[in-house]
Structure 1
Amino acid sequence: MGKRQIGQLQPSELVVTILVSNIATMAIEDSNVPLIGGIIPILTLVSFDVLISAMTLRYKKMRRIVSGTPRVIIRDGKIDQKQLKELRFTIDDMMEELRGKDIFDVRDVAFAIVETTGSLSVYPKFTAQPATAGMLNLQAPPGADAPPVVLIADGVVIDSALGYCNLKYEWLEKTITDNGYTTQDIFLMTCNRQADYLIVPKAQLKVKDRKEDAS
């Protein structure tokens, strides 16, 4: 099943999860049931789930039977009511999912697709899409694609983050000292490759923003 959440499980995986949970509970609560009597059914169910997963990966038809296929419920601003009924997807469900995508007008939707996990993927019309740097022909500043990382977490320095930012430990010590702290005083410190950093001291919700050039 991997690291997927309950809402992302396929029907067969959800059934196996519930059955395994019930069998394990029965084996623990009922002292008259031998432990092996609970282990064997659990191993059988897990093996069944692994077999089904392997078959769905290999055979496309099997994957469609077990997992289903994505369904388009909105096309060019028009709702496909037939698909909604087949999916038992209510208007409230649809509008809630659209609002979660920052879309409040159905007419702004080019395509809305209900995935096999039950989630809604939305592709807005061009006129409803937010402006991007590419649309505005803006040139990205150096390091724009390198997000800030955690340098210090609860007083502990993360060495790999220093290497990521191309910074030295001496720079970190000087920066902390210049702000009037020690490493142990810091609850959180983040930084990017331009040496823009954020310091959050322990037990104080006062945040200090500073910008220095890396030495």
Structure 2
Amino acid sequence: MLLIIIRTLILYIAVVAVMRIMGKQEIGQLQPFELVVALMIADLAAIPMQDTGIPLLSGIIPIIVLMVAQVALSFISMKSMKARNVICGCPSVVVANGKLVESELRYLRYNINDLLEQLRVKNYPNLADVEFAILETNGQLSVIPKSQKRALQPDDLNINTTYEGIPITLITDGQLNEKNLRKVNLTREWLRTELLKFGVDDFRKVFFASLDTAGQLFYQLKTKPGGGRV
């Protein structure tokens, strides 16, 4: 039993490391060849995990070979447009200028019910509101609405807006992020002083704290298991 646990942990660590090396796209929006690699890695890891008679290297070596092949294909597709089209495919326009592209739907074997379902998921229940719909190489549908149906933008009303960046996380579950503090040229003492203004005297009491680009500090205290604040 102990041997099975150790082999499982080793294979788990190996698969996690390989998926990290192959890149974030492996976890999120998979291309067809990336999906194949992910499925094969899962199968290769499962075999030596279940059968202790199979050497551990018999599972790890093929996984590493697949990783090298996937990284090589990704590099080739990044450098060559022709190779990218062959390996990843091309996006397909299924709605153009407000009309269904029948030939493309037929070629993709993509029926109208599936298309309407994806449009509803994107909050476009009416096909008449859609100017373009593009089926991406990862299977997701991108929708460009008609100009009359898109959400109103500040530009439409000639309104100037202020810059909005990404808030910087300063505290997570009581742990101070020193790196982010240095990134915004602030110190631990500054943050302590700001939190003291709200009666918070210890970083460990803060569940989350962030600073937006306007300099506004947001924080939330931890909650006790039985209710109330820490």
TM (normalized to structure 1)? 0.77
1:112–1:121 Cα contact (<8 Å) kept: yes
Alignment correspondent of 1:184: 204
Deviation per CA, 1:128-185, whole angstroms, max 9, x where unpaired?
12122222211223xx322332232223333444455565555533332222222332
Structure 1 residue 10 displacement after superposition: 2.4
Could you tell which deviates more after superposition, 90-99 or 67-76? 90-99
2:93–2:104 Cα contact (<8 Å) kept: yes
Distance between the aligned counterparts of 1:196 and 1:132, measured in 2? Answer: 25
Could you tell which deviates more after superposition, 198-207 or 132-141? 198-207
Unaligned runs of 5+ in 2: 1-21
Q: Does residue 214 of structure 2 align to residue 174 of structure 1?
A: no
Alignment correspondent of 1:154: 173
SS of the counterpart of 1:8?
Answer: coil
Alignment correspondent of 1:96: 117
Unaligned runs of 5+ in 1: 208-215
Alignment correspondent of 1:200: 220
2:174–2:206 Cα contact (<8 Å) kept: yes
User: Are the structure 2 counterparts of residues 159 and 33 from structure 1 closer, same or farther at C-alpha, using a change threshold of 3 Å?
Assistant: closer
**Matching residue's letter, 2:215:** A
Distance between the aligned counterparts of 1:7 and 1:88, measured in 2? Answer: 24
Structure 1 or 2: more helix by fraction: 2
Could you tell which deviates more after superposition, 115-124 or 99-108? 99-108
Structure 1 residue 116 displacement after superposition: 0.8
Distance between the aligned counterparts of 2:146 and 2:109, measured in 1? Answer: 26
Which runs of structure 1 show a deviation greater than 6 angstroms over 4 or more consecutive aligned residues? 204-207
Structure 1 residue 55 displacement after superposition: 3.4
1:13–1:49 Cα contact (<8 Å) kept: yes
The root-mean-square deviation of aligned C-alpha atoms, in Å, is: 2.9
Could you tell which deviates more after superposition, 46-55 or 163-172? 163-172
Could you tell which deviates more after superposition, 184-193 or 63-72? 184-193
**Matching residue's letter, 1:59:** S
TM (normalized to structure 2)? 0.73
Equivalent pairs: percent with the same residue?
34
Could you tell which deviates more after superposition, 187-196 or 72-81? 187-196
Deviation per CA, 1:57-99, whole angstroms, max 9, x where unpaired?
3433332222211100011221123322322333343233323
